[in-house]
Structures are given as structure tokens and as C-alpha cells.
Amino acid sequence: MPIQSLVDRRTLIGWTAALAAGGLGLSQARAAAPANPFQLGVASGEPASDGFVIWTRLAPQPLAPDGRGGLGGSLPVRWEVATDEAMRDVMARGEVSSDPAFAHAIHVEVAGLQPNRPYWYRFSAQGFTSPVGRARTAPAPGIMTDRLRFSFASCSHWELGFFSAYRHMAAENPDLVLFLGDYIYEYSYAADRAGLARRHDRAEEIADLPAYRNRYALYHTDPDLQALHAAAPCIATWDDHEVQNDYSNQWSQNTDATPQAFLRRRAAAYQAFYEHMPLRRAARPAGPILNLYRRLAYGGLAEFTVLDGRQYRSIQPCATPTSRRGHVAPLTCADFTDDNRSMLGTQQEAWLYQGFSDARARWNIVAQDLLVAPFLQKAPDGSVGLYTDGWEGYAGNRTRMLQALSDSRMRNPVFLGGDIHSFWATDLKADFSKPDSPTIATELVGSSITSDGPSYEDFSAMLPQNPFVRYFESRQRGYVSMEIDSQHARADFRVISDRNDPKASVSTLKSFIIEDGKPGAVAV
């Protein structure tokens, strides 16, 4: 037996003996002093002009294998909201019972507050007090405020780096943060993958409720993500990895999974998403259904339309008998021109187009998960094709969406996206087949917080065939910070120095301005 194992074994024996000798005394000490239940931090979200949601989840043992966070029955939790960081001037307070059926996650919908100002909040339970978080109410309906500052982020694989980008987002003190999907990843890398910064809680792909809960719990133990949630309210939507790579509605990427089995998995994943995000009770899931698409107004200056690009999709296009995974398929694939296919589903499409007609804000931001512009790329065999998992695979829906947008004459539409792990500024065209077709909306896509970008050389080589792309960069990790006023929207593409450095610095890679009434981001 190697010496190291002997030492470990001796240590273990010593421990066991000490536990046996300590016996009752130790368990009494534990009962008197339970572990801190606020190890997952606090968050706020869904800002309205009179309030917001405040969130925490009690979990004294965040990674307890049963996914219950080390707790049993429900516990009383007190909350308070104050006008000052020291929590002296308390404007609202209450007590709720944690629900073990929702993993002791707390979602309090605070109302009756003043518009357009910061508030601070905290929770207490079991003799512990949570960290203090800062939220912010939206301006009163229709009121044109001077400016709004927000950032958007996507794609934070825990194993591929530290969350320095989140820390720098927090340091900018934005009014609002948008998460555009792949907030967690369901899969882990093989042990022989070089350069992993850290490991997930388990190596196998997660597929049941305890495992999804523990994956969110792991991510929420990250100090940089906790700092970001404590700094600003958020609005979140999802992409695929909150459930499974490239899933579509009730269809797994794996052709051997039945819709029934996949919907059970989706129900577990959606429940864990709800439990770990500061969402309103309207989003509380019922089985495999969670209502996520919604609108949030920021006075007269901005409105955010948040889309769900996964739950209602048509089946994956151009699938092979053995896989429904995303891939570059030849332009001849009939699904690319099938007008019956939908990314958003009939109801969400109708709701979206009605919203375009009703929109009255100066800036109308569409927050969703994917690159909207139809990027022509090369398949492994060298032929030109389109990527099946993005908007290309649902092109009929994109055509309807851009037509509805054009018909509505909605002011300053700006689409924000993620998923593709690279920075983009594109012109969304009335007709992409004609390069001189009018630009009807601006598109900006953030990089990734940590996840691997696509090949810079391969994508760059295709840019001449994609004239609507104003900017592309896949070699750096980061996020996008925006500041909008009545005349301009400014976007700063922010990059971190090194995803493997927990103390990485941040800088601005590129900045763009969009002028009121002139779609298209102009580099500055």
C-alpha cells in the first residue's frame, strides 16, 4: 500500500474515533449552531416601477446529494427592504415559509415602492442574516428618464474558467443585468481535457431534479456570480444547456429518448431554473411548462421583450436518423425553407408581433438566446451551409418576425443574443438575399463568460459572404455593457484578460453607437 494511502487511512481512523468519542456532544453542538443557510447568496429580478422580486435559497449544505440543501421541513424566513445599504430605513418587511417542494427557494414579490431608485434587501433565518443585495425599481410608466445602464451575458461553463467577467459586470454598478442563456451547463468535460480551471460537482451529465438543483447551487456558490446578483436586479431567459445541448421543445438531441422521457427531464430542469432565479410566481412551473416570455418597461426610455427560444420550437431541422444535434447542413435541406417551422411557437409569435405594434418606448430591446442574422458558414466537407440549431433552422419564423417588425415601424428595435460564444454586430435586413435591402433592426451578440468560442479563422473567412455582419470576434471572453439615452445607445464589448485567472482584469475591445432612428451599430 502506498504511504499516502496509509496516512489517509490513519487520518480517517483517527477521525472516526474522535467522532465516536465525541458522540452526543458533537451532534448537540451541531443542533445548537446550524450551518449558514445563505451560502448561495441573494438576488433580485423582474424590476417594475413599484417593486421587484428578491430571491435566496436556504441551503446549509449546498451540494447535499439528495438536492435538498441539507434541510428537511419548511422554515420561517424573514425579509426586509430598505432605502439605505445599512438597512436602517426599512420600507417593507415580511415573513414567509420556505417550501421543501421548491428546495427552500424564496421568491418574494415586493410592491408599493417608489419608482427609479435603488433599494437594499436581506433575509434572515435560523439565527443567520444573508448578505445585503441592491435592487432598483424601474422608472414610472411613460416617464422619459435621462439614461439606463445595463449589461448582458451568456454561456458560463464552470469548468472552462473563473467568473471574472461577472465580477467586472458587478463593479460597473449597472441598473440591470440580462442573462441570455447557458447560465449553467449540464455536461462536464472529460478528465483528460487540458486547461480546465475547475471541475463540476459531478462528471456525468445531469438529468434529474437533485442533479439540476446541485448544478445551480454550485454555480451560485461562486463569489463573482454572487457579487453580480447582489449588485443589480436581473432579467433571465434560457438557452439549451439549462436542460440539454440542442434540445428542441419535447425532443432531446438524442433520437433514442422518447418525448415522454425527455419532458420528465425538462420538468426537472425547468423547476431547478425557477428555484434558482429571481422570477415572479407567474413563472412557477407546472410539470414541463414554465412561462418565461414577457415584457418589462423602463419608463418611456426602454422596453425589454424577453423571448423563450426553446420551449415551443418545431423539432430539430435536418436531423439524421441517429442524431438531432446542431450541425452545418447544406442549403438544400428542405427544413431551411419550410414556412411552417417556428422557433417561438404560434402563441409566442402572435404575442411578439402584437407587441411590435403596441410598442411606445424609445428603445425596444429584444432579449433572446441566439444570433438572429443568417450566417452562411462552411460545413466540414467544405460546402456552404447553415447551422441547424439557430434561427436558420426556423427561418420561416425569422421572416415573419422581421416582416412584422418592418410593418409595425417600431422605434429602435435592438436584438440581443448569446449562444455562439463570440461578439457580433449585425444589420438585420428586410431581405437578407439583397445586400442593399434596408436594415430594419440592430443586432448585438455578447461573447461568453467562459465558454469556448468558434474558430476565428473559419468564421472570418466567411465574412465576405455575409455582408450584413459589421463586426465579429470569437477569441475573447466577456460581456456587453450598454448605456442608452433618448438620442443614442452605446454598446461596449468588454473582455477579460484570462478566463483561467481568478483575478483577471477587464478592458473594452470595441464600442458601437446606435443613433435614434438609424438602425445599425456604428463602430466608434
CB of residue 184 to Fe ion, shortest distance in Å: 10
Residue 419 or 443 having the CB closest to Ca ion: 419
Minimum CB separation of residue 377 from Ca ion in Å reads 16
Q: Is 146 exposed, middle or buried (0-12, 13-18, 19+ CB in 10 A)?
A: exposed
Q: How far is the CB of 422 from Ca ion (least distance, A)?
A: 12
**Which member of 80, 308, 419, 443 binds Ca ion (CB under 5 A)?**
419
Segment lying near Ca ion (by CB under 5 A), choices 233-241, 426-434, 478-486, 502-510: 233-241
- Is 186 one of the binding residues for Ca ion (CB under 5 A)? no
Interface segment toward Ca ion; rule CB under 5 A; list 174-182, 192-200, 372-380, 433-441: 174-182
Q: Which three three-digit cell numbers place residue 376?
A: 452562411
Q: Which does 224 bind (CB under 5 to 8 A by kind): Fe ion, Ca ion, none?
A: none
- Name 57's bridge partners: 105
Q: Provide the minimum distance between the beta carbon of 179 and Ca ion in the complex, in angstroms, as a whole number.
A: 13
Rounded CA separation 106/96 (Å): 8
Q: Which residues, at least 6 apart from 256, have a Cβ–Cβ distance to it below 8 Å?
A: none
Give the angle 346-348-354 at the CA atoms, nearest 5°: 100
Contact residues: Fe ion, CB under 5 A: 155, 182, 451
CB burial of 396-420 (b: ≥16 within 10 Å; e: otherwise) equals: bbbebbbebbbebebebbbbbbbbb
Q: How far is the CB of 82 from Fe ion (least distance, A)?
A: 37
Rounded distance between C-alpha atoms, residue 92 and residue 179, angstroms? 27
Among Fe ion, Ca ion, none, residue 240 binds (CB under 5-8 Å by kind): Ca ion
| C-beta closer to Fe ion: residue 71 or 449 | 449
Identify which range of 70-78, 189-197, 412-420, 436-444 contacts Ca ion by CB under 5 A.
412-420
Q: Which is nearer to Fe ion, 271 or 422 (CB)?
A: 422
Report the partner that residue 235 touches, choosing among Fe ion, Ca ion, none (CB closer than 5 to 8 A by kind).
none
User: What mask, x for binding Ca ion by CB under 5 A, covers residues 237 to 266?
Assistant: --xx--------------------------
* Least separation in angstroms between CB 304 and Ca ion: 20
Q: Which residue, chain included where needed, has cell 461562486?
A: 222
Classify the C-alpha dihedral 173-176-181-183 as positive or negative.
Answer: positive
**190 Cβ neighbours under 8 A, 6+ residues apart:** none
Nearest CB to Fe ion, comparing residues 352 and 416: 416
CA distance 331 to 468: 19
